[in-house]
Amino acid sequence: MKPASPSTAPIRSSLVRRLHKRAGAERWHLSEIDFGAALQRSLARRFGEAVPSEREATDYLESLAVGDLGLACACARGSETAWEHFVGQFRPALLAAAGASAPPGVARDLADSIYADLFGLEQRDGVRRSLFDYFDGRSTLGGWLRAVLAQRVVDWARASRRFEPLADNVADGPSPAAAEPPDVERPRRLALVRAALRAAVGALEARDRLRLALYYGQQLKLAAVGRVLGESEATVSRKLERTRSDLRVAIGRRLREAHGLGEAEISACFEEAPGDPAFDLARVLPTQGGIETRPNVRASERPTSDPRASDV
């Protein structure tokens, strides 16, 4: 899915200015130009290639949740203050909704995948693309996030059906799965990907490694990690997502260049690794003795249920 092309319908500068003020977008340091571009995208998604009249365009834009649209636009452009507000306002609800929709281990991964896409780890033509660019303000930001999460849950459920066992009442005779020979290459692939993970983590900057160790190894919450490193909660979240993405790229490159694996084998490695207990960031990160400088952390600052295995 691509963001819609801007509509050719003009938006009066006075309307952009009024909606910009109503949205409180100045607190996120979001310019009227960037906010106007977000309004233009929303208008294009609503009317497609049709050109609405000025009255139709005005009525539509006046009906938008402009406060949420301004916040989303500012986050997509990397505003620290906007991200801090977004994380504090929406992260708890998103995690709770994920926990109510999927098993604990899966719920965290689904929520984190949304955060990665919101930050915009993917780049196209040198431009960082954020999932926020698809929010058009026709609903509240909270409602839109729940819809995105619901689709992720559906996608996960569909994918997981491939691994469900056959029912007990199948007809007699060997099943297709039982007739398939074992994959003798799987142990080799898992050994390679474990080694690649250790090498990739070892090549990280010390601060990135420490951030991973605090979050995954010590299982501290984002706010607690931020206090240790002198970073905001939003900054910790974004840097963790970026480091995870960098690790995945580094692992794939090592498998390709050092071990001669093809793309199909590399994909198989990433599919199989989450089921391997050894493919766990906590196992290859610094031990508690390696982060003696961290302050004492209250139990309430540790996640209550978060195994965080296989997070790459």
| Domain of residue 243, residue span | 184-301
Listed range (53-62, 83-92, 100-109, 176-185) with the worst mean pLDDT: 176-185
pLDDT at residue 161 is higher than 80: no
Listed range (34-48, 83-97, 186-200) with the worst mean pLDDT: 186-200
171 part of a folded domain? no
Distance of CA 117 to the CA centre of its chain: 4
Q: Are residues 13 and 70 in the same domain?
A: yes
Looking up tokens 């992720």 gives 152
pLDDT confidence bin for 296, thresholds 50/70/90: very low
Q: What pLDDT, in 10s, does the model give residues 84-130?
A: 999 899 988 888 888 888 887 788 888 888 888 888 755 555 566 78
Whole-number pLDDT of residue 276: 53
Whole-number pLDDT of residue 291: 41
Parallel/antiparallel/unpaired status of strands 127-128 and 123-124: antiparallel
pLDDT at residue 219 is higher than 90: no
Q: Are residues 47 and 152 in the same domain?
A: yes
What is the 8-class DSSP label of residue 217? I
166 part of a folded domain? no
306 part of a folded domain? no
Looking up tokens 């949205």 gives 23
- Minimal CA–CA distance to 134: which of 122, 118, 123, 146? 118
Q: Are residues 224 and 141 in the same domain?
A: no
149 part of a folded domain? yes
Name, of 63-77, 182-196, 281-295, the range with top average pLDDT.
63-77
Q: Are residues 154 and 212 in the same domain?
A: no
Q: What pLDDT, in 10s, does the model give residues 232-265?
A: 888 888 898 888 888 888 888 988 888 788 887 7
172 part of a folded domain? no
Q: Are residues 239 and 280 in the same domain?
A: yes
pLDDT at residue 297 is higher than 70: no
List the end-to-end C-alpha distance of the chain, in Å, as a whole number: 25
More confident residue, 169 or 21: 21
Looking up tokens 């620290």 gives 80
pLDDT confidence bin for 141, thresholds 50/70/90: very high
pLDDT confidence bin for 69, thresholds 50/70/90: very high
Whole-number pLDDT of residue 2: 46
DSSP 3-state assignment of 125?
Answer: coil
167 part of a folded domain? no
pLDDT at residue 181 is higher than 50: no
More confident residue, 126 or 294: 126
Q: Are residues 138 and 206 in the same domain?
A: no
Other CB atoms within 10 A of residue 205 CB: 9
Q: Are residues 137 and 215 in the same domain?
A: no
Q: Are residues 90 and 219 in the same domain?
A: no
Whole-number pLDDT of residue 72: 95
225 part of a folded domain? yes
Q: Are residues 26 and 87 in the same domain?
A: yes
Whole-number pLDDT of residue 36: 95
Burial 142-151 (b: 16+ CB within 10 A, else e): eebbbebbee
222 part of a folded domain? yes
Residues 6+ apart with CB under 8 A from 76: 120, 130, 132, 133
Q: Let me know the angle formed at the C-alpha of 12 by 6 and 15, rounded to the nearest 5 degrees.
A: 105
What does the alpha-carbon distance between residue 273 and residue 191 come to, in Å, rounded to a whole number?
Answer: 10
Q: Are residues 190 and 92 in the same domain?
A: no
Q: Are residues 190 and 291 in the same domain?
A: yes
Q: Let me know the angle formed at the C-alpha of 30 by 23 and 79, rounded to the nearest 5 degrees.
A: 115
Structural domain total, the chain: 2
More confident residue, 137 or 170: 137
Q: With 0.75 as the threshold, say if the pTM is over it.
A: no
Question: For the range 138-144, what are the long-range contacts, defined as Cβ-Cβ under 8 Å and sequence gap of 24 or more?
Answer: 138/42, 138/46, 138/63, 138/64, 138/65, 139/65, 140/65, 140/68, 141/65, 141/68, 141/71, 141/72, 141/90, 142/68, 142/90, 142/93
Q: Are residues 137 and 198 in the same domain?
A: no
